[in-house]
Structure 1
Amino acid sequence: MDPLTQGVLGASLSLSASKKQHLLAAGFFGLVSGMAPDLDVLIRSESDPLLFLEFHRQFTHSLFFIPFGSFLCALILYPLFGKKLQLSFQQSWLYSALGYSTHALLDACTSYGTQLFWPLTTERYAWNVVSVIDPAFTLPILILLVFAMLKRNAWLARIAVIWALTYPTLGMIQRDRAEAVGWQLAKERQHIPIQLEAKPTFANILVWKVIYETEEEYHVDAIRVASSIKNYPGEAIAKLNLSRDFPWLDLNSQQGKDIERFRQFSNGFLARSPDDELSIIDIRYSMVPNQFNALWSVKLSPTASAYEHVEYVTHRDNSSESRQLFSDMLFDF
């Protein structure tokens, strides 16, 4: 999720469990600690463009790391602010732990993938119930948090926490409805999916991107789930096949290893780009949900040495045409 949502949810949980005289202090510690796990984005390498993908949402987001991560937050925040706010170190650690504990679970509600149980497993958990940015989720929490601090009323923060549990539950219901439509569409096309997933689109839980995998292809459709169901048939694309798509590639080279790293990050949803024969795209994300216009990819080079990395490329589909297509789906009443 975005930093604002992470911060205000962390603040809400710590504030909801605090004593009245500690409300502001608890909210501050929860706010900072709720955002702290994303400091893992600083783990980067100029020579290895995929390093940040491996470490983002990894050990700092593990449920096992909560005691250690929150301890580090308290260790830094207590001498700077805790003493002045008349907190003990134990209280500082408690409020930091409450804020820190919300982060990974909230991230797992999105479709990006979070390593909740690292180091026991590197599996990325993605429950696909909330978009990484969703004002309908964030704004009520923010408003309730502000009033909780102004009114010095912890119950308003508790209501914010209840909303933070309720909205993903609504998202889960919507996701399941979208997946049911996806399975029906596949059946009508006489396809037998190997796997099928519905993912929330930007800033809403009405329009869903449904992806399913067959033996040779990925298929994508947009499904609008409201009082009535509407589907917007989409595209199909051949699954990545390295021996067919890149016959010149040495799988033991660094580029070959990088593709496997990218595959693990994307949960296997890879295809060769239809726009660039040297690029491999992560098909999970696109501005228009029934298209494969990917938001990021890796680019290979036939002339690269055995030790050279792939190039990581981000794409920003901000064209007016794409925005209009998405808007037409979202507001198609």
Structure 2
Amino acid sequence: MDSLTQAVLGACVQGTLLGRWQGRKALLYGAALATLPDLDVILDYGDAVANMTQHRGFSHALLVLSLVAVLLAWFIRRVRPHPGYSGTRLFLTLWLVLITHVLLDTFTSYGTQLFWPLQSQPVAWSTIFIIDPLYTLPLLLAAILGATFGLRGRLRHWPAMALALSTLYLGFTVAGKQMAESSVAAVLREEGIRPELVFSAPTPFNSLLWRVVIMDEGHYHEAVVGWLDREPPRLVSLPRGAELRPALAESAQHARLQWFSGGALRYDEMEDQLVVTDLRLGMTGFHPFRFPLAERAPDGRWELIDAPERLAANRGNSDRLWQLWARIWNQQPELPLEHWALVLEARH
């Protein structure tokens, strides 16, 4: 999730468990500690693919963060013990501030390596967009009120109530994912499509409208499904470029992207470069993670690029967001997914 959400989540966790004794400082301490896992973004792993796939790695591992919580609790108890709460309560608070950060990240589409150093596929439940105001707002309001008026009297319970509301909303996003995939599954059965992979995620900034990607051998299909839809979703077939994939058989970066994305990749030849797109993130045609992994040699062969860079992301515009907003409430007109996907065939 975005940094603001993670900060106010940590603030509310620590405010709930230690606010009685630490007061406003509990909010500050929790917000600061909750940002710790994301500091791995300052590390350079050598190329853009490595930087993407190593993010949310060791710094988001349950084992590592549990050890960090133990060491922090031990250090704080030695340096500045507090008679009001035990070392166990302190450890539990620190552990929950860190663990709720990475658990929330698993509900996004990116991929979180909870079980590092095991090389299991990153966890991505993809039920919430990376920025969702409805999740963040209760936490932010509780943090602001607590910082302004202190955690005394009834205000002491506001962080806990905010956590309850945000958690209920997170449950609603899980129900939304099930709704979207069930709707698409019925269409797949009717059309006799047996996909390699089905991936679903909410569209930007909301959980009412969902995007479902169905990976096939030569193509992939996309559908948009909303809670208020009355008709079955329409599948839009788009070129996957799978015929270009054999050129990357020896590419370590491509293997890493395959592992990280679960195979939700598209391949395009653009300006004599073979560009690979992670289709899970962003919106149709507007995906932030695109990498040229090979380029044409003078004799026509593909040569792998040793240290690929990420292409600049085209994040769309306000008109696209308004179209998404309108689609939440009305199934017609359908979104122009075919037109949006054409953006992937041009540099941006």
Mark yes or no: TM-score above 0.5. yes
Query: For structure 2, which runs of at least 5 residues remain unmatched after alignment?
Result: 332-348
Closer/same/farther in 2, CA of residues 89 and 121 from structure 1, 3 Å limit: farther
Cα distance in structure 2, aligned partners of 1:274 and 1:206:
34
Task: Summarize deviations over 1:61-98 as a string: whole Å, max 9, x none.
Answer: 1111222334676799x69xx85999999576554333
Cα distance in structure 1, aligned partners of 2:306 and 2:174:
42
Cα distance in structure 1, aligned partners of 2:210 and 2:329:
13
Q: Is the 8 A contact 1:33 1:70 kept in 2?
A: no
Residue 17 in structure 1 maps to residue 11 in structure 2? no
Amino acid at match of 2:5: T
Q: Is the 8 A contact 2:23 2:150 kept in 1?
A: no
Q: Is the 8 A contact 1:29 1:96 kept in 2?
A: no
Q: CA deviation at 1:101?
A: 1.7
The equivalent of 2:62 in structure 1 is 63
Closer/same/farther in 2, CA of residues 160 and 230 from structure 1, 3 Å limit: farther
Match of 2:278 among 279, 282, 286: 282
Amino acid at match of 2:52: L
Task: Summarize deviations over 1:86-142 as a string: whole Å, max 9, x none.
Answer: 999957655433311211100001111111111234321111111100001101111
Closer/same/farther in 2, CA of residues 320 and 19 from structure 1, 3 Å limit: closer
The equivalent of 1:302 in structure 2 is 296
Amino acid at match of 2:274: L
Amino acid at match of 1:296: F
Q: Is the 8 A contact 1:3 1:35 kept in 2?
A: yes
The equivalent of 1:142 in structure 2 is 140
Cα distance in structure 1, aligned partners of 2:223 and 2:82:
53
Residue 51 in structure 1 maps to residue 46 in structure 2? no
The equivalent of 1:212 in structure 2 is 214
Per the alignment, in what secondary structure is the counterpart of residue 35 of structure 2? Answer: helix
Q: Is the 8 A contact 2:200 2:212 kept in 1?
A: yes
Q: Is the 8 A contact 2:128 2:207 kept in 1?
A: yes
Query: For structure 1, which runs of at least 5 residues remain unmatched after alignment?
Result: none
Work out the number of aligned pairs and report it: 319
Map 1:151-166 to 2 at 5 A: 151-152=150-151, 153-166=155-168
Cα distance in structure 1, aligned partners of 2:150 and 2:245:
62
Match of 1:133 among 131, 134, 137: 131
Closer/same/farther in 2, CA of residues 22 and 207 from structure 1, 3 Å limit: same
Q: Is the 8 A contact 1:212 1:218 kept in 2?
A: yes
For normalisation by structure 1, the TM-score amounts to: 0.83
Closer/same/farther in 2, CA of residues 22 and 199 from structure 1, 3 Å limit: same
Cα distance in structure 2, aligned partners of 1:58 and 1:175:
25
Q: Is the 8 A contact 2:187 2:233 kept in 1?
A: no
Closer/same/farther in 2, CA of residues 160 and 189 from structure 1, 3 Å limit: same
Tell me whether 301-310 or 185-194 shows the greater mean CA deviation.
301-310
Cα distance in structure 1, aligned partners of 2:318 and 2:145:
38
Q: Percent identity of the aligned residues?
A: 24
Cα distance in structure 2, aligned partners of 1:199 and 1:208:
6
Closer/same/farther in 2, CA of residues 293 and 21 from structure 1, 3 Å limit: closer
Amino acid at match of 2:295: S
Amino acid at match of 1:268: G
Q: Is the 8 A contact 2:214 2:222 kept in 1?
A: yes
Per the alignment, in what secondary structure is the counterpart of residue 66 of structure 2? Answer: helix
Q: Is the 8 A contact 2:289 2:310 kept in 1?
A: yes
Match of 1:268 among 242, 263, 272: 263
For normalisation by structure 2, the TM-score amounts to: 0.80
Task: Summarize deviations over 1:168-209 as a string: whole Å, max 9, x none.
Answer: 110011110000111122223331223322211111101111
The equivalent of 1:99 in structure 2 is 97
Q: Is the 8 A contact 1:273 1:280 kept in 2?
A: yes
Amino acid at match of 1:284: R
Cα distance in structure 1, aligned partners of 2:144 and 2:280:
35
Amino acid at match of 2:228: A
Task: Summarize deviations over 1:129-157 as a string: whole Å, max 9, x none.
Answer: 11100001101111123224424133111
The equivalent of 2:339 in structure 1 is none
Closer/same/farther in 2, CA of residues 135 and 151 from structure 1, 3 Å limit: same
Cα distance in structure 2, aligned partners of 1:214 and 1:306:
25
